[in-house]
Structure formats: C-alpha cells, structure tokens
Structure 1
Amino acid sequence: MQEDFLHYIWKHKKIGVNNLKTVNGAPVVINSVGQHNYNSGPDFFNAQLKIGNQLWAGNVEIHIKSSDWFLHNHEQDKAYDNVILHVVWEDDTEVFRKDNSVIPTLELKNIVDDGLLHNFERLFAKQNKWINCENDFAIIDSFILDNWLERLYFERLERKSKNIETLLAGSKNDWEAVLFKMLTRNFGLKVNGESFFSLAQSIDFSIIRKTRNTPLVLEALLLGQSGLLEQDVEDAYHLSLKKEYEFLKLKFNLNNTQVLPLQFFRLRPPNFPTIRLSQLASLYGTNQNLFSKIIEIKKLEEFYELFKVSTSKFWESHYTFQKKSKTSKKTLTKSFVDLLLINTILPLKFSYAKQKGEEIDNEIIKLATSITSEKNNIIKAFNNLKKVSNSSLHSQALIQLKSEYCDKNKCLQCAIGNSLISANA
C-alpha cells in the first residue's frame, strides 16, 4: 500500500460517500475534501465535513496506519492541531491532539472497491517495464490523452519559464540579452550547448550590439571568445579574424577563461562549432531588434524566413580553418530552425506574454502543432506503444510525461494513470 494511493482515494472520493462512519461509529459526510497540500503539514487543507451532528472545517491527515501519527511525531507539532479527521488504511491505535482530545478516524481498507485496488496493484506491479502503464497505453481514450498532452506541454513551458526568469534577472531584464543566451546555447545543440552558453555568458550583450553591424567583427568576437582562433593557422581569413579579436579583447576587456572547450568529435560537419557560430553571427548581423521581431511573428513560415541565414563566404568552402572542402551554401535547415523554435522561441514568447499578463495560449498551440515532432528515443518508445506524437506539442509533452511522471512513478497524479486505476471500478 502507498500513502499516495490513499491521497488519490480521498481526493477523488473513490469510496462510497454514503454511510461513511468513523471507527467509533460516528457518521461522516464529506462536503469538501479540502485542498491537496504537497508541502509540509497536513495532507489536505480546509476540508469541510460533518462528523456526527457537528460541522467541521479544518485539515485532514492521511496515513497507512494510525500509529504513523506518532511515528512522524505529529502529536508534538502545532501544524497538526487543526486536523479534524485522520484517514487511514488500517486503524491500529487511537490518536490524540496535543490537548489530549481524540481525533476521529476513518478506516479505508474495508470500504475501497476491490476493482480499484486491483487496478492500482496491477499498475504498480514490480515488473521490468519501461513505464508502468506500457501494457495499457494503447487503449487510453484519445480524448483523455490529447487533453493531458496539451496540459503537459504547458507544464513544460512553465518549467522553462522559470529558467528564463533566472536568465532575465541576471541580464537586468534585457530580453534581447536573454534571447542571445538561449539561441547561442541551442546553436550548440546537445554536444556543445553548454560550451556555447558559457560563451554567451562571457560576453555582455552590449558588446554584441556594438559589433553586429560589421560581419567580420562579430564573427571574430564569437570565434575568438570561444577559443577557436588560438591555434596558429597560415590562412589569411584566420589571421584577419585573429587580429580583429585581439583588438576587441583589449577594447572590451574580454576574458574567455570560463568558456568551456568546444567539441568536434562525433559531430556531422554542418554542426561543427565553426559553422554554427558563423551562422549565429550572420543572424545577428542581419537582424536588428531580433527579440521584437520574434514576438511579433505569429506564422511558422515567417519564422523560417527570419532564420534563413548562412555562414560568411569563407565557410562555404571550409568546415575548419585547416582544410578546404567542397563549396556549398551552409544555410540553417528547416529541422534546425524547428529545434530553435521548440527550445528557444516558443518558451520565450510564452514567458514574455506571461510577464506582460497577456493570453497567447492559442497562438502557442497553433505554432507548436504545426512544427514536426522531435525524434528521439523517448518519442520512439511512446510511438511504439501507440502512434501518438504528430507534432512538437506532442513530443515536448511526452518528454515531460516521461521525465516528470513515469520516471518518478507519479501515476496517481497523471491523467493516464487515473483513467487506468478508475477503469471498471
């Protein structure tokens, strides 16, 4: 038995609400189960109950056994003085408040539906499963699943908003600076994301504003600050970038000792940091007030147009400074822009609207559902159970589901788990 399951039973009134009685035979009428408390203190606040002939308003505490009250030292804690009902699976002792008055106890083990208990035990059965509900995931009602995924998507946006708020506080509420840090991280993808972010953190955005109008200067700033100009290379473009960076380093008192090393190993050449940083420089060199443009855009096609940037001329025939390659225009691909939209643009638009008190949920949903689903092991595994991910809204929601619910066994707080436990019970 899990205490979380008892919380679920009480919260959703999964007991016969008629003819409930305390262990001492007093009738119990539930007017309100109260507000579920996930922090310290009683499990449910402000419940409204009628016990015997007396109306009560107060808190409800839930345990597997009555004796857990003393095991947790609640009899010594003032926070539990206002408990009006003790709900337990098994009553094994009387429980008293600090003033020695008896707390009424409701025992559940003989009044919970057998089908409900069977479904709970089946869901949490100790088996070698990827997720607890994998045997039943395919039969989940589509209406329940679609609504739950939409809610999970916004849950994930809320989580990302907290990270954005932290960046905003560290950037003196400069949204353009926050955008630059987030975009830089995502230009680095998974392999170089943290290195690129440390690069962005090492440059005050005012310097980006001052250098963005000259492509060579901005590219020299990014490549030099990342450490990519430190080698001695006999190439005219490398030498011109290095000379420019040395000037910038003195002018702006730049320090790159905290910038993390970049990786080339196991990367496809189009994802080499040299290429991505040149593309990033091109993006900022051709767009003034990029953040304002992003906030104004509402159509996916306009985002693709905005991010239609490529490298400087040198990188059309190079992937590194040391070796020449076949000439090709290295433009940001649609799939790469999709990742920028998923991980930077939509969370930023959501967070900005939230701060302004504006409602743009429908705009976010429209954009998220028009972007192709991500492809990774989590999405593949869910799709193998049931073809469910048709857009980035779904893929982001499924990542949230796996990381925040499945991996943490929070089935009782999940709409899918709830539907399976309640089925035919």
Structure 2
Amino acid sequence: MKTDVVVLGAGIVGVSVALHLAARGRSVVLLDRRGPGEETSYGNAGLIERASVIPYAFPRDWRSLWRYARNNTPDVSYHTRFLPRIAPWLMRYWWHSAPQRLERAAQAMLPLIERSVAEHDALQEEAGISGFFRRNGWIDGVRTQAGLAQAVADAEALAPYDLAYRVLDRAALAALEPSLSPRLAGAVHWLDPVNVSDPGAVTRGYAALFERRGGRMARGDARSLQASGGGWRVQAEDGPVDAADVVVALGPWSPDVLRPLGYRIPMAVKRGYHQHFALENGASLSHPVADIESGFVVTPMTLGVRLTTGAEFAPRDAPPSPVQIARTRKLAGELLPLGAAVEREPWMGCRPCMPDMRPVIGPAPRHRGLWMAFGHAHHGFTLGPVTGKLLAAMITGQAPEFDPTPYRLGR
C-alpha cells in the first residue's frame, strides 16, 4: 500500500491530523493497533476547555507540597517505588512552573486554546455528530466560602483573557443543578467551554468523516516504523504501508516509536481513571461539575455520570490501582446520589505530559518526512482538531495561522 502520509495513532489528535491532510488533497492511511478513540481519547471529562488558559502547573508553595507528599489526597497519588525514576522529570516540571516560565507556557498555549472550540465546530457538523455537543459550559464547585472567594479571585485574575463566567452562590447553584447537595457552597460557571456526552464517539465520528473524505484505516504496530527508500514504511496487518511522510501521534506511546530513531522524548504520563454511575432517587445532572478542592469531575455522559479522577504518577504500563476511584467515589457521593457503577472495573488511561506544559507539534529535527504531534497532557481532546489543522498546514507547505515555533521538539 502506497500513500502520501501515514498517521500513527487514531486518538483525537491523530484522527484530526489525518482529517485535515485529507481535506488538503493528500492520500492518508491512519494506522493504529486498535480502533479510533479507544485509548486516552475515550477516557476524559469530555471538555473542550476554552477557559483553561493557564496550564496545570506543579505546585510551588510548601503547604501544597507537604499535602501531596503524604500521598493521601484524592487529586494526586503516586507509587512510592516509582518516585526515583520520575524525580528528574518532576524537577523539570517544577522548574518550568515558576511564575515567569508558567506565563511563557500560557502565552505559547493560548493560540491553540483560543481556537479549540472553533476547530471542533468546523468538523462536528460535517461529521454528523452535533448531538454529542452541549454548549452550557462547566462548573467549578467549591465546598467552603473561603474556597469560593479564592475561585472568584482566580477567575478575576484571568480578566485579560476576556473569558465569560458567572459566580453562583449556593441558591443560584441549586437553581441550576437541583440534585447537587448543599455541601457545595457555590461555584464559578465558565461559559466559553463546550462539553460532549461521549468523547470516544466524537473521535469515532471524526474518523468516519476521514474515511468519507477518502482516507483509509489500517490496523498495525507503529513500532515497526522504519526509513525506507527516502520515505517511511510501517507494517499493517494487510501488508507494508509506504509513505513519503509519517506523523507520530501516539500520545503516551510516541517515545516507543521515536527512541529507535535516536530521539529521547522528555515525556511522563499522568495516569487517570473514570467510572460511570447511575443516579438514584430521580436525580439528574446537566453540566460537568468539578470539585476543585478535591480534584475530580463528574460529567453527564451517555453511559451515566462519569467520575473522572486527577493524576496518578506510576509506570505507564503498571497494573491499574483502585486508590483514586475509591477516594473520589466517596467524595462524589457527597455531592450526588450515585448509585451502582455501570462498569465492573474502572477505566484507566495515560495523559502524555511534557515538563514545559506544551505539546510537541512539528517536524523532527533530524529526519526528513517525520512529523510529531503528541504531549497534550490534560488537553488532548480539547486541542485535537486545532493541532490537526496546524500540522497539516506545515506538512503541505501552507502558511500556518500562527507561529508553531513554541511546539518544536528542539525547544
């Protein structure tokens, strides 16, 4: 099989890259060992997070550091034996989280964040999946008046970004979401973000649009990638695929493919979990709600209310741990009358994170025709379509809408 471009990875980023390349007239094969949207793109809170203009930084105050060091919080946990291995990466993450460097990261990410909703909108209607999209924002809930005051202050500090939000006291929050318990003292309701009821189905819908545009799907092992005759070859189940260009969009597995080519990617993963629950006593939920003091999100999804956890630092391929779901299940049950779990076991996925809190998007520095699109951390679902558009422009020699330099690997 010969094609112009082979895209490795059928998550939201890889599917979006393939879609935009096909729209520019390139023949494209999208290769993955599984179906589209079955890994990290399946298990998230379903947010297109237009309001997250400041990246998730490493805490630098001693109170937060001591809190997390005890390893008993609902929002962050770690495997003790893994700490020596990840400590160098954590130190780089901490270094990049200093105020001036965090501001540079925020400015680098802003062009992507600002276009996130618009680029999803450009695809979802043609894909015929508009029914999954809800334009009611999301809610940052807090349990104390002190927490509400801090949340409002944090929102006011984002005034330069011209984000839309409203402050909800307890009565206003109860009017908006009557089934939430009075344990939430109030909230900040962010209005710019969009949320979806099934992120995996959205990714599959984009993949179906890719095929309607003439793209081809293939099953195969991306680790078989090798240079071949001035281009690239990868083995699919139906035989080899040859292409002039290859895009590595494999999220947390990208370093596995790039390491044999001599690239050492400074990536770590933040593992996360979700599980769906039924609601009891006629309760309902219409907005995603974050308990920002506890570090979890509950989102109304097709399968039920999805409880999504914070970050677990552990080896990427280590067996799942029930710790975070167990901690957050109890806390979430204080906010909503959660009933039986829909799945027998929680789902686990891995967020691919770079220490400077920005993804890698662009050409490889030492190999012609090798392109990269990974490392989106907590915002892969948010930034998939805008990443696809940016990289497709670069591959086809078109002028990108904004400067891609902050995302180059050699930064």
Under a length normalisation based on structure 2, what TM-score does the superposition of the two structures give? 0.24
**Greater fraction strand:** 2
- By relative contact order (CA 8 Å, sep 6+), the higher-ranking structure is 2
TM-score by length of 1: 0.23
Answer 1 or 2: which has greater helix percent.
1
